[in-house]
Amino acid sequence: MMLPEHKQALIEQSISLRKQPRPELTEEEQQEMFGKLRMSMKEHLEVMVTVFGEYENSHYTGVITGLDPHQYLVKIKLNHDWKVIDFKDIVGVEF
């Protein structure tokens, strides 16, 4: 038999072990991703954007419709929806 406090501590430890560290992107990698985002917007090309998540990354596929370099925001048009993403959370862009 386990005390409730010990059980809760084990659950919290298990959750914290699944956290993934935020990748450190170089300036060159960030510029390359921004270039792909710009090309998607200019040429209306579909891209897959990978967004960092504390436990699991998310993937969004669509066409970039807006870039705000001052607020570091990216707007992507999905099938029937829109998503605004903070550029600092983007860890990958693929055509």
Could you tell me the pTM of the whole model? Answer: 0.80
- Among 71, 73, 85, 92, which Cα is nearest to 25's? 92
Q: For position 68, what pLDDT does the model report?
A: 94
Domain annotation for the chain: domains and CATH numbers? 23-94 (2.30.30.100)
* pLDDT at res. 8: 77
Give the model confidence (pLDDT) of 32-83 as tens digits: 999 999 999 999 999 999 999 998 999 999 999 999 989 999 999 999 999 9
pLDDT at 15: 62
Burial of 19 per CB tally in 10 Å (0-12, 13-18, 19+)? exposed
Residue 3, pLDDT score: 76
The pLDDT score that the predictor gives to residue 16 is: 62
